[in-house]
Chain A
Amino acid sequence: MTSLYEEVRGDQPGEVPVRRVSIRVNGVNRTADIEPRLLLAHFIRQGLRLTGTHVGCDTTNCGACTVLLDGKPAKSCTVLAVQADGHDVMTVEGMATASELDPIQEGFKDEHGLQCGFCTPGMMLSAKALLEENPNPTEDEIRWALSGNLCRCTGYQNIVKAVLWAAEKMRAQAGK
């Protein structure tokens, strides 16, 4: 684990309560001893060094920290890591394989669905959860599904187009 955890334990042996958690992240079991107050977002970012999950607002509003928790979008800044013990987490790093991007990732690039890129991982994961449930969403359904994720750069129009692009590609792939 990182210095965050080692330093805590090294400085105060026995005094800080420590809990062992086991979380399946992007298909791999990750086990660590952590302070119970550690947020899932920090477990992912500082602990596992998966920095694609961003922290924007600390209050569950902006959605930059969105991950899929057992397949459902969850804002990892307001989930304790201990609450995710025994559960399945997908982050942006788990979307692409070594050789192939997720169609949502391709769609965001092709339709210029991002500018600064800070909201993008959370936005794409919310879109992924939507398309799992609804492979052929309308523009309104996309706008509603993404309304927990804030973007300050794009004005959303191209994000909507990106999701439509991905939905079409995924339907075409499924039809093959």
Chain B
Amino acid sequence: MSLDEIKIGGMGASRRRVEDNRFIRGKGNYVDDVVLPGMLHMEILRSPLAHARIKSIDVSAAWAIPGVRLVLTGEMMAARNLAWMPTLSYDTQAVLATDKVRFQGQEVACVIADDPYIAKDGCEAIVVEYEPLKPIVNPMQALAPGAPLIRDDKENQKDNVVFDWQVGDKAATDKAFASADKVSKLELHYPRSHPSPIETCGSIADFDRSTSKLTVYMTTQAPHIIRAAVALVAELPEHMIRIISPDLGGGFGNKVPVYPGYVMSILASILLEKPVKWIEDKTGNLISTGFGRDVYLKGELALRKDGKILAVRMHTDSDHGAFFSDAQPSKFKIGLMHSAFACYDIPAAHLTARGVYTNKAPGGVAYRCSFRVTEAMFFQERMVQAAADDLGIDQAEFRRVNLVHDDDFPHRTAFGFLTDSGQYAKCLDIGLEAIGYKDFLKQKEEAKKRGRLLGIGISTMTEPLGAGNSREYDILGIKMFDSAELRVHMTGKAILRTGAKSQGQGHETTWAQIVAHELGIPADDIVVEEGDTDTAPFGMGTYASRSTPVAGAAVAMVSRKIRAKARKIAAHLLEVSEEDVEWELGRFYVRSAPTRGVTIQDCAFAAYTNMPDGLEPGLENVSYYDPPNLTWPFACYIATVEVDPQTGVWDVLKVVAVDDCGVRINPMIVEGQIMGGLTEAYAMASMQFITFDSEGNCVGSNYMDYLLPTAWETPGFELHEVVTPCPHHPIGAKGIGECATVGGPAAFVNAVMDAVKDTGVRNIDMPLLPDRVYEALTTKKDISGFPPVKTDA
């Protein structure tokens, strides 16, 4: 009799999480919890200025403090050819500044001491003399004639442009616009936002001279990429580098890039031959590590009067800060921005993109998104609402007219992506039903008569998750496949390792469920390990919602390899030919005599004790999975709000989410991901304000100023589900971790814009702080454009 898959913790089971057993006891093992014998501590001195020439650095007073073991400056790094390091986007980034500082918070020196307090004392004792230079804080300033050159360190860099890039069909787009009944336009700024996991970045480098081995504990979402980078930068042999990414206190993209602190701790450990720990403080994290977004978007939709979108034209000016360190596929300069409008059937599209350097910390990390798709989908859904309003068509109906139909898959988007599955209209219908769309519209009209402002915002989108197939996706030339290695022990228990790295997604729980689904081994009998490059197979790590689409697929594929070998053993044990053996969950049996069978555990035991002649002993294998395509989940998010016309404060009335991420491995975890994503969407729409004043000072450099929503502000969420299996994924799953962060913000912003529509205001830039909404209501003008921070001159 076949096993009950839910009982063994297989696919579809809301299995309680394995990792929680240590987390709820305070027994997690985060980087700062690791203590090595003789360990020293490193602190970083950062620049207070955004743009300045370094005239002198006096470190003598720091050296004089008892307990200080080493003080590093840019000059010392340069002597070892380590003052600069390559970024993940073929640029260079200063490890410690030598010539000048290019953003506030840039690393200028570091002190290694017996304890972190002494190291901080050491940093305070360093005297740096700066000659201030004019800071550049937005693309408009960066592109202005005569603008100071930020990257004067680069030989061929004559201006502040990082790239100029385009995609799509310009001629076809121009033609469509020429024949349009109406053209709808929108401009907006998707502001900088910091992913800000509660745990900051950190590392412990431990170089052992006697073995020449370098072990680094590090907060990284992609340990194998780090190993490759360290091998290239520090010129250490790759087999002598071990990167261990222990438990991570959140990542959200912040822990993908290579940061100077990691490099300095490594050099310090090599020089001192002692373990060196660096734990970043919160301000250091907020002002110097990878930001997301910061894109100025301009767009136009060519419309037919019946509501059909004929073409889209987009231009982006993106602010990358002082160093182009985006972690993204090398082929696409503005990430997957051109995935915009993928859920709509649009004949023609053209996107131009220009990236610039500014005196800000490096930007462009994919903050809980797949390489700029957050900006793409936000702009898409803001434009869709504006276009519906311009045409005077109901916004839900306008979407329905343009959404790709279920029977039109596979569908090639105007920008060239291939979407493969979905039930878009069904998701929209479920969302509208759940929010009570028609009733709400009536309620809204009634409320208006009494001076109350209600609004409803819809966001429908599909996004490309799971980079990606090796034809198109690589980082620094390394193809974006992923991996899984499964070893089944004699007693039928197993260990699984993957090239991904969980930061809260629950891989230790869900990967075991995939193995249970494929092999019938109970999930509780499978231990999952990730993050140690000495033991895990090579993989590209966890970001861009790629774990389930790529590493998760590898888990299924390696399980199938194990099953194929177990079948040979089963035939041997049952004394029949392999062709006469049938499989049901957890068991092989003889086709003609179903009661004669052996379990997968019997096969595992035989793999070590009674293997057939000619078959290799043991039961283990590895799979490297190169996905044929991205996965395309679909989502419909709808929010209703009430805006207080007296104060500009807005309250969320209800939020409905309909997600189709294909087959759900663990529904409980999927729902957790959706709710977390919706919260970040709400946060960006409402309060996460981190920007820069005209001097380049970061406004929002700690949690007093950078507001993250608490349990009190965060609304409740109502979740709904549609399942359209991914046709190419071995278990039909699609990515989900980032959908709500990507699609969510537009639902909230569209709702507020809907509430204030009668003023004629077309846009208020995020976050929709009460003062901005109030200003829009009272001046009847858009609140958008170049840096909106009020302290600007």
Contacts and interface: CB of A to CB of B under 8 A. Distances in A.
B679 A155 contact: yes
Interface in B176-200: 196-200
Contacts of B19: 117
B250 interface: yes
Contact of A7 (B115, B672, B678, B710): B115
A3 B114 CA distance: 8
Contact of A116 (B21, B35, B114, B199): B199
B26 interface: yes
Nearest to A110: B16
Q: Of residues A61, A118, A153, A158, which shows the largest number of chain B Cβ atoms within 10 Å of its Cβ?
A: A153
Given A61-B703, A143-B712, A147-B710, A109 B21 contact: yes
B542 to A, nearest CB: 12
A141 to B, nearest CB: 11
Interface in A48-76: 49-59, 61-62, 64
Contacts of B608: none
A18 to B, nearest CB: 13
B344 to A, nearest CB: 28
B506 interface: yes
Nearest to A96: B25
Contacts of A20: none
B282 A142 contact: no
B716 interface: yes
A115 interface: yes
B672 A154 contact: yes
Contacts of A58: 281-283, 702
Interface in B226-255: 247-252
Interface residues of A, number: 64
A56 B504 CA distance: 16
Contacts of A57: 198, 282, 702-703
A59 B24 contact: no
Interface string B713-729: 01011000000000000
Contacts of A7: 67, 114-115
Contacts of B197: 116, 118, 152
Interface string A77-116: 0000000000000011101100001000100111010111
B503 interface: yes
A155 B675 contact: yes
Given A115-B505, A118-B249, A149-B710, A108 B20 contact: yes
B17 interface: yes
A155 B677 CA distance: 8
Contact of B250 (A92, A95, A152): A152
Given A57-B702, A59-B282, A149-B710, A109 B20 contact: yes
A129 interface: no
Contacts of B66: 11-12
Interface in A26-59: 35, 37-38, 45-46, 49-59
A152 B198 contact: yes
A156 interface: yes
Interface string B7-25: 0000000001101111111
A146 to B, nearest CB: 5
A157 B716 contact: yes
A112 B666 CA distance: 12
A134 to B, nearest CB: 15
A156 B248 contact: no
B703 A59 contact: yes
Q: Of residues A120, A148, A155, which shows the largest number of chain B Cβ atoms within 10 Å of its Cβ?
A: A155
A156 B679 contact: yes
A9 to B, nearest CB: 11
A159 interface: yes
Given A7-B67, A109-B21, A150-B710, A61 B704 contact: yes
B39 to A, nearest CB: 8
A8 B67 contact: yes
B708 A160 contact: no
Nearest to A50: B26
Contact of A156 (B198, B677, B714): B714
A117 B67 CA distance: 34
A142 B714 CA distance: 13
B407 interface: no
A112 B26 contact: no
B24 A120 contact: yes
Contacts of B672: 112, 115, 153-155, 158
A55 B279 CA distance: 10
A40 to B, nearest CB: 14
Contact of B115 (A8, A108, A109, A142): A8
A108 B35 CA distance: 28
B30 A54 contact: yes
Interface in B100-139: 114-115, 117-118
A45 B17 CA distance: 26
Interface in B422-468: none
Nearest to A109: B20
A116 to B, nearest CB: 3
B33 interface: yes
A24 B35 CA distance: 24
B40 to A, nearest CB: 10
Contacts of A109: 16-17, 20-21, 24
B675 A101 contact: no
A147 B713 CA distance: 9
B703 A155 contact: no
A137 B703 CA distance: 28
A55 B248 CA distance: 13
A114 B23 contact: yes
A52 B504 contact: no
A55 B32 contact: yes
B28 A117 contact: yes
A157 B675 contact: yes
Given A59-B282, A105-B25, A121-B26, A156 B20 contact: no
B246 to A, nearest CB: 11
A117 B711 contact: no
Contacts of B283: 58
A159 B25 contact: no
Interface string B490-508: 0000000000000111100
A169 B28 CA distance: 25
Nearest to B37: A3
B35 to A, nearest CB: 7
A155 B26 contact: no
Contact of B676 (A59, A64, A115): A115
B504 A115 contact: yes
Contact of A152 (B247, B252, B716): B252
A62 B711 contact: no
Contacts of B23: 114, 117, 120
B668 A112 contact: yes
A5 B506 CA distance: 37
Given A58-B281, A149-B710, A150-B708, A92 B26 contact: yes
Interface in B262-300: 281-283
Contacts of A115: 250, 504-506, 672, 676
B471 interface: no
Given A61-B704, A109-B21, 17 more contacts: A7-B115, A8-B114, A12-B66, A12-B67, A37-B117, A51-B32, A56-B199, A59-B704, A62-B198, A93-B25, A116-B249, A117-B23, A118-B28, A118-B30, A118-B198, A118-B249, A152-B250
Interface of A: 2-4, 7-8, 11-12, 35, 37-38, 45-46, 49-59, 61-62, 64, 91-93, 95-96, 101, 105, 108-110, 112, 114-121, 124, 142-144, 146-160
Interface of B: 16-17, 19-28, 30, 32-33, 35, 38-39, 66-67, 114-115, 117-118, 196-200, 247-252, 281-283, 503-506, 668-669, 671-672, 675-680, 702-704, 708, 710-712, 714, 716-717
| Closest 4 pairs (CB-CB, A-B) | A52-B26, A118-B249, A117-B23, A116-B504
7 contacts: A62-B703, A64-B249, A115-B672, A116-B251, A117-B24, A118-B28, A147-B711
